[in-house]
Structure 1
Amino acid sequence: MLDWVRKKEPIKTIDPLQIDIHSHLLPRLDDGVQSYEESEDVILHFKKLGYKKLITTPHVMSDAYKNTTKKILARLDKLRMYLENQEIDMQIEAAAEYYLDEQVYQMVEQNEEMLTFGKNFLLFETNFLNEPFNMKEFIFLATTKGYKPVLAHPERYLYLQNNLEKAEDLIDRGVLFQMNISSITGFYSKIVQTTAHKLIDKGWVHLLGSDCHHLQHVRLVEEAQQLKYFQKALSLPLLNNSL
């Protein structure tokens, strides 16, 4: 059949991100924003980029950020009230970014209330150099308790950068990977960017997050939107817009 009479393939459209699932926008809870005015500036920039919903995730870390569920939800209420008074239309929810230490392990083990998002997604991070000795045990425990463990920014961990087989093993154990959008831009380092590209190439990215702590980070999200690997990540079956 002649080329000009062939049926044209429909152009596949890629849905833009409308939901962010990792940020630090509750004032003075961690190393993120430090005032409601700063939160406002960041949120307005997200709004300009087309975001409809932000799930903000303060650090919970026993030796640095002793945030409790009650404290986080109280600060969320205050931020929502502030945004309402400023007539800013943005859905804001709160989960948490749990640092995998003995305290967090015990919280899950003892059925304490954990802040999750979506269908019981539990966002956690680890130290950047070495895999925690109890990581696989924690994943098994969290899964048996009904959580869906989500590893924050896997591309940033040295123990995964040098061993993608270990990354694959975590996925096989039911862990979802949340990539930082700024990693795609090279913001952290070349090795982080290279690892991010490899994970995208393999389709091992389930969620994208800004990990936004301040205005510079949301500007990196805007910068990333022009990059080939960001568009490639968007073409994956991401869970963001289903939350």
Structure 2
Amino acid sequence: MSFFSKLFGPSAPPVAAASLATLGVDMHSHVLPGLDDGAETMEHSLELLRQLQDFGYRKLILTPHIMGDFYRNTPEGIGGALAALRTAAEAAGITGLELDCAAEYYLDERFGRRLEQQEPLLTFGGARRMVLFETSYINEPFNLHESIFNMQAAGYQPVLAHPERYTYLYGRFEELERLREQGVMLQVNLNSLAGYYSAGAKQVAEKLIDGGLVDLLGTDTHHSKHLHTLRTKTLTTPYLAKALALPLLNNTL
């Protein structure tokens, strides 16, 4: 036994890197070029596609932000960007990777008006009509439960993006349990398991996994740094293997 082992105790054995091929589908990313704070150019998008395919994904559901006056994306604009990316991917020799799109809706007044005016939302999951949505990270929306009810009443399945990152829910884990009981699916970001966003996000993500409350895992890829963290840190975190053992829905999308 080495001096350091005697001093600090034996180190934990290394964790073997998990494979994301069992997920099959990444349902949260910002890879479409020039639409939000994700990929800026087509070349950037193609590089991200190559890296995501190397992780074992066979399908990507690309979800650009739709958020008030910041990202005023439309179904038509998103669909056009998807068509252009498909063409570019084929020309670049990227095959065997299915590309589809939805959106990540920010829970703001504009989103409420979309529901009131029965504007069609971009969904994924086929007939399940899943809608990915997010909120402010700091301030709890006053209309959170009302918006969820209205989505459900309109025939949509709400999916809350990265619930572990909302600081207004820290110390209120029972609220996340309540949301899931209300019928909201919960999607955890993979890099939260490596503490990429914060120690608090990591702790909540682990607690959600321990409680079996995670329905979907997403990369939330914006740039290569996210994938570098995924490759060098997240794949060897013990909680990733634990998360992959849950009855996740990724592979059914």
Q: Which bin holds the TM-score, normalised by the shorter protein?
A: over 0.9
Residue in 2 that maps onto 1:100: 107
Aligned length: 231
TM-fit CA distance, 1:226: 1.5
| CA–CA separation in structure 2 for the residues paired with 1:227 and 1:169 | 28
**CA RMSD, Structure 1 to Structure 2 (Å):** 1.4
Q: Identify unmatched segments of 5+ residues in structure 1.
A: 1-13
Residue in 2 that maps onto 1:210: 219
| CA–CA separation in structure 1 for the residues paired with 2:247 and 2:116 | 31
Does the aligned pair in 1 maintain the 2:193–2:206 contact within 8 Å?
yes
Q: Match of 1:49, as an amino acid? A: F
Residue in 2 that maps onto 1:8: none
Q: Match of 1:174, as an amino acid? A: G
What pairs up with 1:168-179 in 2 under 5 angstroms?
168-179=177-188
Scaled by the length of structure 1, the TM-score of the pair is 0.92
| CA–CA separation in structure 2 for the residues paired with 1:26 and 1:108 | 25
Residues 80 and 15 of structure 1: CA distance in aligned 2, closer, same or farther (over 3 Å):
closer
What pairs up with 1:56-205 in 2 under 5 angstroms?
56-89=62-95, 90-118=97-125, 119-205=128-214
Residues 94 and 168 of structure 1: CA distance in aligned 2, closer, same or farther (over 3 Å):
same
For residue 229 of structure 2, give the secondary structure of its aligned residue in structure 1: helix
Q: Match of 1:26, as an amino acid? A: L
Does the aligned pair in 1 maintain the 2:105–2:134 contact within 8 Å?
yes
| CA–CA separation in structure 1 for the residues paired with 2:222 and 2:248 | 22
| CA–CA separation in structure 2 for the residues paired with 1:29 and 1:39 | 11
The runs of 4+ residues in structure 1 deviating greater than 3 Å are none
- Is residue 57 of structure 2 the alignment partner of residue 51 of structure 1? yes
Residue in 2 that maps onto 1:242: 252
| CA–CA separation in structure 1 for the residues paired with 2:202 and 2:249 | 22
For residue 225 of structure 1, give the secondary structure of its aligned residue in structure 2: helix
Q: Identify unmatched segments of 5+ residues in structure 2.
A: 1-19
